[in-house]
């Protein structure tokens, strides 16, 4: 049991950086673009509908302020860690070097859930926008081919029909494999694809803000915080508790800056450029999120927003059909880059854990030509394609937030631990006002975890329990630190 608290020496991280087989091709703005690519999409094109319609109403803007503020605390801590340990693995690697192997495993295991469910959510959202785009051109595929079984059953019931025995979301399945093929071919190709899409997305987001502003009906803001409602299951939404619950849901939209830190192994100058990209991408996207949420809930009443394609539905609500086509095309393209960065982050977490022996070697195998972890990329693509084709969007979106909140809270604590235990380490970037920022980061994220729905907590605890079983049956026995301890003594 004493082994579970051992920490990975900083010297080992430095040795691994020198031996890395990954291509270092990402500069400062390339990394920032990856962050923006992941952040813009999941929140604006997807979760604004769910969070406003179900939980916060027009006060969604406050939810984004709350989530953004909590993320800023965590982002500063991530920035310091990425300057000290510029390696793939993100929060997992940072925890391994400061909090111990068991903490690192729990973080890594939940990051797997975070990125995989995040990419799955976006795949389903992409399908919703793609279907809307087809409808714009008067193409109407059968419901059973465009929706998971649960959603399809509901839609068939609405039109008085019985759903076929076979229903699945074909577009979600196909787009997952398109993204997988891009990722297998290399980081440079993935980054180029992302850059093009990010330019398009920012242009359309600015279009939504400036054009939508002229169609705001201030009556839609009343009540700004709708009264609390208790549903048949005994749980509630709206009210200030709904606003905070919405903040815990839209937290998913911010994990783009987390994904930036997973690309440190492919950055040209990671110690300086990764911290820059983390903070800049977060600040840009937080401002855009707040403005878009105010515009959308001003254009259309919150309870009339479409949960699968809220931005397009808002412009439909004010009879701007031509704008709807433009936004839908941008969303179809834009959500691809979100999936791309999330799946990219997922495979780099796998790579870091495999290097440490906590996961099988296959997760760390690099393609001889493309220099990518191709086996884990294909495996991730396979799982996401199956889950996204068979699962409703609201069931997978909330699972992302738990892993994110836990990782952010742990990193906020870990940066304080490392500053205290190893004050002389070179830190190109330092968190200002420590320990205040660190403590606020822990409290903020831990508090939001209390407002996550009970069902999400249950799923999170089940997933974590499975992770602990895997750790004690496989990972602790195969950890590379076992061999290191034989040669250098105990790491406790």
Going along the chain from its start, the domains and CATH numbers come out as 30-137+179-226+236-486 (1.20.1740.10)
**Dist CA 492 CA 477 (whole Å):** 17
Which residues lie across from 26 on neighbouring strands?
A: 267
Among 487, 474, 430, 449, CA closest to 70: 449
Q: What is the DSSP letter of 489?
A: -
Tokens of 14: 């430095």
**10 Å Cβ neighbour count for 486?**
8
| Locus of tokens 């975070």 | 114
Residue 19: per-residue pLDDT:
75
The mean pLDDT value for 322-350 works out to 84
Phi and psi (nearest 5°) for 427?
-130, 90
Which band of pLDDT confidence, cut at 50, 70 and 90, is reported for residue 366? confident
Q: pTM surpassing 0.85? A: no
**Lowest pLDDT segment from 153-167, 220-234, 257-271:** 220-234
* pLDDT for 458 beyond 90: no
Q: What percent of the chain has pLDDT over 70?
A: 94
Q: At what angle do helices 90-98 and 321-355 cross, to 10 degrees?
A: 30
Residue 400: per-residue pLDDT:
64
**Dist CA 123 CA 259 (whole Å):** 17
The mean pLDDT value for 140-164 works out to 89
**Lowest pLDDT segment from 12-26, 92-106, 190-204, 347-361:** 12-26
**Digit-coded pLDDT (tens) for 248-298:** 778 767 766 777 888 888 888 888 898 999 899 999 988 998 999 999 999
What mean pLDDT is reported for the chain? 85
Burial class (CB in 10 A: 0-12, 13-18, 19+), 141: middle
Q: Any residues with CB less than 8 A from the CB of 323 and at least 6 apart, and which?
A: 207, 211, 315
**Dist CA 118 CA 123 (whole Å):** 9
3-state DSSP assignment of residue 150: helix
Q: What is the CA radius of gyration of the chain?
A: 22
**Dist CA 177 CA 50 (whole Å):** 26
Q: What is the DSSP letter of 4?
A: G
Which band of pLDDT confidence, cut at 50, 70 and 90, is reported for residue 122? confident
Q: Which of 9-18, 112-121, 291-300 has the highest mean pLDDT?
A: 291-300
* pLDDT for 231 beyond 70: no
**Dist CA 10 CA 180 (whole Å):** 33
- 300-310 as b/e: b if 16+ CB within 10 A: bbbeebbbbbb
Q: What is the DSSP letter of 42?
A: I
**Dist CA 384 CA 346 (whole Å):** 11
Which band of pLDDT confidence, cut at 50, 70 and 90, is reported for residue 440? very high
Phi and psi (nearest 5°) for 195?
-60, -45
* pLDDT for 234 beyond 60: no
Top-confidence residue, 405 or 296: 296
User: 400: alpha, beta or left, given left = phi > 0 and alpha = psi -120 to 50?
Assistant: alpha
What is the per-residue DSSP string for 394-448? Answer: HHHHHHHHHHHHHHHHHHHHHHHHHHHH-TTS--SS--TTTTHHHHHHHHHHHHH
């Amino acid at each position: 049991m004493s082994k579970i608290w051992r920490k990975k020496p900083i010297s080992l991280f430095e040795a691994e950086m020198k031996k890395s087989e990954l291509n270092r091709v990402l500069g400062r703005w390339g990394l920032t673009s990856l962050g923006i690519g992941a952040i813009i999409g999941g929140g604006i094109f997807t979760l604004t509908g769910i969070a406003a319609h179900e939980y916060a109403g027009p006060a969604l803007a406050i939810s984004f302020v709350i989530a953004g503020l909590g993320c800023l605390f965590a982002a500063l801590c991530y920035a310091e860690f990425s300057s000290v340990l510029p390696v793939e693995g993100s929060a997992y690697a940072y925890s391994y070097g400061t909090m111990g192997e068991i903490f690192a495993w729990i973080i890594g295991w939940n990051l797997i859930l975070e990125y995989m469910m995040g990419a799955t959510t976006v795949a389903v959202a992409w399908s919703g926008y793609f279907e809307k785009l087809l409808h714009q051109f008067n193409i109407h595929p059968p419901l059973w081919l465009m929706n998971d079984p649960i959603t399809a059953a509901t839609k068939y019931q609405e039109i008085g029909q019985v759903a076929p025995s076979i229903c699945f979301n074909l577009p979600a399945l196909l787009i997952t494999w398109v993204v997988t093929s891009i990722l297998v071919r290399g980081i440079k190709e993935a980054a180029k694809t992302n850059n093009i899409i990010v330019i398009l997305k920012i242009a359309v987001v600015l279009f939504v803000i400036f054009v939508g502003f002229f169609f705001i009906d201030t009556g839609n803001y009343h009540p700004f915080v709708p009264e609390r409602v208790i549903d048949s299951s005994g749980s509630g939404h709206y009210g200030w508790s709904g606003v905070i619950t919405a903040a815990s849901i839209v937290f998913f939209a911010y994990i783009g800056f987390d994904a930036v830190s997973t690309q440190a192994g492919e950055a040209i100058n990671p110690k300086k450029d990764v911290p820059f990209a983390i903070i800049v991408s977060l600040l840009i996207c937080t401002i855009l999120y707040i403005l878009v949420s105010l515009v959308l809930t001003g254009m259309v009443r919150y309870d009339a927003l479409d949960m699968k394609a809220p931005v397009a539905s808002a412009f439909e609500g004010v009879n701007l059909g031509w704008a709807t086509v433009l936004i839908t095309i941008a969303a179809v393209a834009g959500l691809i880059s979100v999936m791309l960065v999330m799946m990219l982050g997922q495979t780099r977490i796998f790579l870091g854990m495999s290097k440490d022996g906590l996961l099988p070697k296959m997760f760390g195998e690099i393609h001889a030509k493309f220099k990518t972890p191709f086996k884990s990329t294909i495996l991730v693509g396979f799982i996401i394609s199956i889950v996204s084709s068979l699962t409703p969007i609201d069931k997978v979106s909330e699972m992302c937030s738990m892993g994110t909140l836990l990782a952010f809270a742990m990193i906020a604590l870990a940066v304080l631990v490392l500053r205290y235990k190893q004050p002389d380490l070179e830190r190109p970037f330092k968190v200002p006002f420590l320990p205040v920022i660190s403590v606020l980061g822990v409290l903020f994220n831990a508090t939001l975890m209390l407002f996550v729905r009970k069902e999400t907590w249950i799923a999170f605890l089940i997933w974590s329990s499975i992770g602990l079983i895997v750790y004690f049956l496989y990972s602790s026995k195969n950890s590379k630190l076992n061999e290191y301890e034989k040669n250098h003594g105990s790491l406790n």
